[in-house]
Amino acid sequence: MRSETGQDQFTLRRRPWSERSIDGGFRLLTILLASLVAVVLLGIFLTVFNGAQEAMASFGLSFLVTSGWNPVNNQYGAFTAIYGTLVSSLLALFIAVPLGVGTAIFITENLIPRTWREVIGVMVELLAAIPSVVLGLWAIFVMEPLLRPFLNFLHQSLGWFPLFSTVPKGPGMAPAILILVVMILPIITAISRDALNQVPQELRQGAYGVGSTRWIAIFNVILPAAISSIIGGVMLALGRAMGETMAVTMIIGNSMNFSWSLLAPGNTISAMLANQFGEADGIQVSALLYAALILMLMTFAVNILAQWIVRRFSLSYN
């Protein structure tokens, strides 16, 4: 069919060579840049794994369960640091989860005016922006002295209990746990808040419609609907807590002597790396990289588990 205007022909020209090569080149460039992520990740893993070979050969798996760390005799066991990493992050999580989820509920569930909710939300987000080294400085000079009378009281009244069996003398596991709480609280709050905000309004209306009070609705309807994302967020926070370095290094005391007591100085893998890696040589470097490998595997596992939980258990409302 011919049109009357006479403009009847499309010019189906081949795109010029220059245009096609720019297009193809750009695509190739972005592929290359995207692959860099995999390259860097692989590089990190291989570097740490390679460096750890020597220590893995000479200490084997007993590295994980022995607690001597002696650069003079070149005898290394990372149990103190592994125990410290796990205990500090798990206890911090134990304290931070109720606080973070409680705060998230408080600022999503219409309990106070919108302005106040936003103010609290912004403040928690800004807390996440404070550099960890500044929190460490604050922990050394402000928090720890404030905390000490309370820790002394714990020791005096519950000193028979292994966790409180030593006299608090400054840096130690307990202040490190508290500073970790401060660091992971914003993550838990932010992710829980997003999760609660995504719960469809109909669920709330339904719950209130059948006569539940606000908190009955929260505990029986809203929290269960948001729980998978919240747990995912908690796992991410756990990963962050295990890898957190500066604030912990500054306040944990960096002792390689194992102690059950939370009031005694301890160590974590990342704190140990921060303290010793720069000055280590010989097999100590390898032992430190072995510990770094363990830390990396632990955070990998936690992060992948977090994503799996979010994907596997997320409810969709369509």
Partner 1 sequence: MTLSTATLPSRSLRFNPGLKRNRTDRLFTAIAALFSLIAVLPLVLVLIYVLIQGGKLISISLFTQLPPAPGLEGGGIANAIIGTFLVTLVGSMIAIPVGVGGGIYLAEYARRGWFSQFIRLGNDILAGVPSIICGVFVYSAIVATRLFFGQSYTAMAGGIALAVLMLPTVIKTTDEALKLVPQELSWGAIGVGASKFVTITRITLPSAFTPMATGVVLAIARAAGETAPLIFTALFSPFWPEGLFNPIASMSVLIFNFAIMPYEAQNALAWAASFVLVILILGANLLARWIRRFTSS
Number of helices (H) and strands (E) in the chain: give both, helices first.
Answer: 12, 2
Question: Is 229 in contact with 237 (CB distance < 8 Å)?
Answer: no
Q: In angstroms, give the least distance from the CB of 303 to partner 1.
A: 4
Q: In angstroms, give the least distance from the CB of 292 to partner 1.
A: 5
Residue among 145, 300, 311, 313 that touches partner 1 (CB under 8 A): 300
Residues between 116 and 135 with contacts to partner 1, criterion CB under 8 A: 120, 122-127, 129-135
215 is a contact residue toward partner 1 (CB under 8 A): yes
Give phi and psi for 218, each to the nearest 5.
-60, -50
Residue among 145, 216, 224, 282 that touches partner 1 (CB under 8 A): 216
Please count the residues of this chain forming the interface with partner 1, following the rule CB under 8 A. Answer: 88
88 is a contact residue toward partner 1 (CB under 8 A): no
Task: Please choose, out of 62-70, 140-148, 154-162, 195-203, the segment that lies near partner 1 by the rule CB under 8 A.
Answer: 140-148
E strand map for the chain: 69-70, 75-76
Residue among 138, 163, 228, 314 that touches partner 1 (CB under 8 A): 138
Q: In angstroms, give the least distance from the CB of 148 to partner 1.
A: 16
CA distances, 59 to each of 85, 202, 272, 281, 283 (Å): 20, 59, 18, 17, 11
Q: In angstroms, give the least distance from the CB of 260 to partner 1.
A: 25
Task: Please choose, out of 62-70, 153-161, 190-198, 299-307, the segment that lies near partner 1 by the rule CB under 8 A.
Answer: 299-307
Q: Which two tokens stand for residue 155?
A: 């020791």
Q: Is 157 helix (H, G, I), strand (E, B) or coil?
A: helix
Q: In angstroms, give the least distance from the CB of 285 to partner 1.
A: 9
Q: Which has the closest alpha carbon to 241: 90, 130, 137?
A: 90
270 is a contact residue toward partner 1 (CB under 8 A): yes
Residue among 136, 168, 232, 266 that touches partner 1 (CB under 8 A): 136
Question: Is 180 in contact with 249 (CB distance < 8 Å)?
Answer: no
Residues between 238 and 257 with contacts to partner 1, criterion CB under 8 A: 239-240, 242-246, 249-250
- Residues 6 or more apart in contact with residue 259 via CB below 8 angstroms: 166, 265, 266
305 is a contact residue toward partner 1 (CB under 8 A): no
Q: In angstroms, give the least distance from the CB of 266 to partner 1.
A: 17
Q: In angstroms, give the least distance from the CB of 141 to partner 1.
A: 7
Task: Please choose, out of 53-61, 64-72, 198-206, 288-296, the segment that lies near partner 1 by the rule CB under 8 A.
Answer: 288-296
274 is a contact residue toward partner 1 (CB under 8 A): yes
Q: Which has the closest alpha carbon to 220: 202, 203, 197, 200?
A: 203
Question: Is 68 in contact with 267 (CB distance < 8 Å)?
Answer: no
Please name the helix (run of DSSP H) or strand (run of DSSP E) that holds residue 100, with its range, or none.
helix 79-108
Q: Between residues 136 and 168, which has the closer beta carbon with respect to partner 1?
A: 136
Q: Which two tokens stand for residue 216?
A: 């009955």
Q: Which two tokens stand for residue 52?
A: 């750890």
| Helix extents (H) in 169-277 | 173-198, 201-209, 214-217, 223-243, 246-252, 269-276
Residue among 56, 64, 86, 137 that touches partner 1 (CB under 8 A): 137
Residues between 18 and 57 with contacts to partner 1, criterion CB under 8 A: 19-20, 22-23, 26-27, 29-38, 40-41, 43-44, 47-48, 51
